[in-house]
Amino acid sequence: MLAIERPTRNLSLDLLRSTEAAALAAARWVGLGRKDEGDQAAVDAMRLLLATVPMQARVVIGEGEKDKAPMLYNGEELGTGEGPSVDLAVDPIEGTRLVAQGRGGAISVIAAAERGGLFNPGPGFYAAKLVVGPRAKEAIDLSAGPEENLREIARALGKRLREVTVFVLDKPRHMGLIERIRQVGARVSLHTDGDVGGALAAVLPDTGIDVLMGTGGTPEGVIAAVAVKALGGGMQMRLDPQSEEERWALVNNGYDPQRVYTLDELCPAEDAHFAATGITDGQFLRGVRYRGEYAVTHSLVIRGHTRTLRYIESHHLLEKLRAISGELY
């Protein structure tokens, strides 16, 4: 006889309210060219909602330190002080430039796990990443070159190389990588920002993306790892300092820039939580829509323990939101 497991509280659904709030606040700044103001609005809204969640939470990964932006800072305590003790990785806006320029793909995102359940990158701001969906998770090896990885990924997916599409951030550091991907015969999908979204696109079905390759933010890598693990995908990451100052900081703090981290090292927790809400239209989430007195948000929520994935559309009465939270919305 199978043991019956009783349902427990799903923290992911509580965290969802914080990404919805941040997305709604950021959406007011879409296309206005004012990057810092939009970021600050999202941070304020996320912090306001996280303070209401019954948890004893500590921010272990915040985005602001790398970008010198308004932030939920590392070590900040959040929640009501009751309930589970958790570590948080937050990014109120992934793609602040996308919001400022009115471009697609900006999201608000948060991940949570039991204390010690998220990798701490220390002073590492950048990392090389390789992310694929469940069918190709045994085919990747970050210590090998892109050519070998793409051949193995194509084989695992049952595709020709010309049918494999790779998400790459459009940065000068990736010029060589882009050329190597194209030379082996695969296709490149270039994006100016948003590698949490890119990692999700590589794992979720029907996005047109098969794999994420290249160097992006380390905080984004840890956040993405929670979703990738919960969805049964594959991911490897290696710290990739972009300056001598960053390299020396890593070495002096005991990190090996050559070490490849597995998904279980990035997210050792089994019951981790992930929530993301679209700010502007992307590959798998719609951005905030305004319908007169209402605003509509579209979100993705994942719980690692059950591997339940939810797409949630919420309709927010703006008059009520403003009565509760002032002019954030």
In the chain, count H helices and then E strands. 11, 14
Known binding residue 105? Answer is: no
Q: Which two tokens stand for residue 24?
A: 């709604």
The radius of gyration computed from the CA coordinates of the chain, to the nearest angstrom, equals: 19
Q: Which residues of 212-244 are buried (b: 16+ CB within 10 A; e: fewer)?
A: bbbbbbbbbbbbbbbbbbbbebbbbbbbbbeee
d(CA 322, CA 294): 12
Known binding residue 233? Answer is: no
Known binding residue 5? Answer is: no
Known binding residue 313? Answer is: no
Known binding residue 172? Answer is: yes
d(CA 298, CA 41): 19
Known binding residue 66? Answer is: no
d(CA 146, CA 143): 9
Do 123 and 33 form a contact (C-beta atoms < 8 A)? no
Known binding residue 171? Answer is: yes
| Packed helices 175-184 and 146-157: angle between N→C axes, nearest 10 degrees | 50
- Dihedral angle over CA of 30, 277, 227, 272, nearest 10: 130
Known binding residue 95? Answer is: yes
d(CA 37, CA 105): 19
Q: Which two tokens stand for residue 297?
A: 């948000």
Known binding residue 126? Answer is: yes
Known binding residue 103? Answer is: no
Known binding residue 44? Answer is: no
Instruction: Please state the residue numbers annotated as binding site for Mn(2+).
Output: 39, 63, 91, 94, 220
Instruction: Please state the residue numbers annotated as binding site.
Output: 39, 63, 91, 94-96, 126, 171-173, 193-195, 217, 220
Instruction: Please state the residue numbers annotated as binding site for substrate.
Output: 94-96, 126, 171-173, 193-195, 217
